Amino acid sequence: MTSYPAPAQRLVESMSAAAAADPARTVAFQGAPGCNSHRAALEMLPDCLPLPCFSFEDALDAVKDGRAARAIIPIENSQHGRVADIHFLLPESGLSITGEHFMEIHACLMALGDGPFTSAYSHPQALGQSRFYLRERGIVPLSYADTAGAAAFVAELGDPAIAALAPKIAAELYGLKVIEENVEDAHDNTTRFVLLAQQPLDPAAITGEAITTFVFEVRNIPAALYKALGGFATNGVNMTKLESYQKGASFSATQFFADVIGAPGQPALDRALEELRFFAKDLRILGTYPLERARG
């Protein structure tokens, strides 16, 4: 799918051609060149060939059909929480998580004019991370598919009163002026990205600490979650993330998305997962991978 604004199109084409020549080195990301996911791909894997994809689904499809060995996807942000869709798309994709990467996110206000600005386009996460900044200045937040794409779109619109919030590099790539740097409301604003591949890592091959991500479902009856998670408490397994979301319209069951420290094959985690299987249904391990940042 090619819905990129014209100023981004040529870059997208040259990066896509380079990636097509070497899928094993290719890492798909959602967004236009210069977006945060592009930066995260290069920070985590400096030798990779980043492949821009317009939507998350396109990025996941690139891995599923072998055009990219891996995809990098933002999953959660310290300031603005869960990144929409991915908790639904990831289990559906059948891909495995093979790595994580934490990256500080800084946003720049950029535009063709010098201000004042009526509105600013960006990814909803970036808009949420700078909401107080925008509100104080009366700038209306407008959603775009990604930050760098928003910058390219603002360049294409040609209206000096419309700005974008994007990484600084996007201003250079798309010919916008940097109006102000670091406009995020919290300067330690950090996003966690995950790396996805067709094949899971072998937990036994991970040296150092590992983290395991899984999803499961419990019926909405009293104490169901308490019982399902009891084995993690009794076996001393540290759960570092637990999110819930409704599946379907009946509201009779809830799906949970969890991270725990450890790897299958370790007796404590095996016992906890066995107990979970007894009380929950549809337990699916999405991956075991090296812990990049210690929790706690």
The residues that are catalytic are 191, 193
Going by the DSSP 8-state scheme, the letter that residue 272 receives in this structure is: H
User: Contacting ligand PPY (CB under 6 A), which of 76, 100, 146, 259?
Assistant: 146
CB of 287 to ligand PPY, least distance (A): 20
What is the Cα–Cα distance from 225 to 175, expressed in whole angstroms? Answer: 52
User: Contacting ligand PPY (CB under 6 A), which of 191, 235, 255, 288?
Assistant: 191
Across the chain, the runs of DSSP E, i.e. the strands, are 26-30, 49-53, 70-77, 81-82, 96-104, 108-111, 119-122, 140-143, 162-166, 177-180, 190-197, 210-219, 239-246, 253-261, 281-290
For the record, the structure tokens of 40 come out as: 């995260």
Between 38 and 288, name the residue whose CB sits nearer to ligand PPY.
38
- Which residues, numbered 90-109, are part of the site for ligand PPY (CB under 6 A)? 105
31 scored as a contact of ligand PPY (CB under 6 A): yes
State the first-to-last Cα distance of the chain, in angstroms, to the nearest integer: 41
Between 98 and 147, name the residue whose CB sits nearer to ligand PPY.
147
User: Contacting ligand PPY (CB under 6 A), which of 33, 50, 74, 203?
Assistant: 74
What is the x/- site pattern for ligand PPY, positions 111-130, by CB under 6 A? Answer: ------------x-xx----
For the record, the structure tokens of 154 come out as: 């603002």
Beta carbons within 8 Å of 99's beta carbon, 6+ residues apart: 44, 194, 195, 289, 290, 292
User: Contacting ligand PPY (CB under 6 A), which of 19, 27, 35, 152?
Assistant: 35
Query: Can you give the binding site for ligand PPY, defined by CB under 6 A?
Result: 31, 35-37, 74, 77, 105, 123, 125-126, 146-148, 191
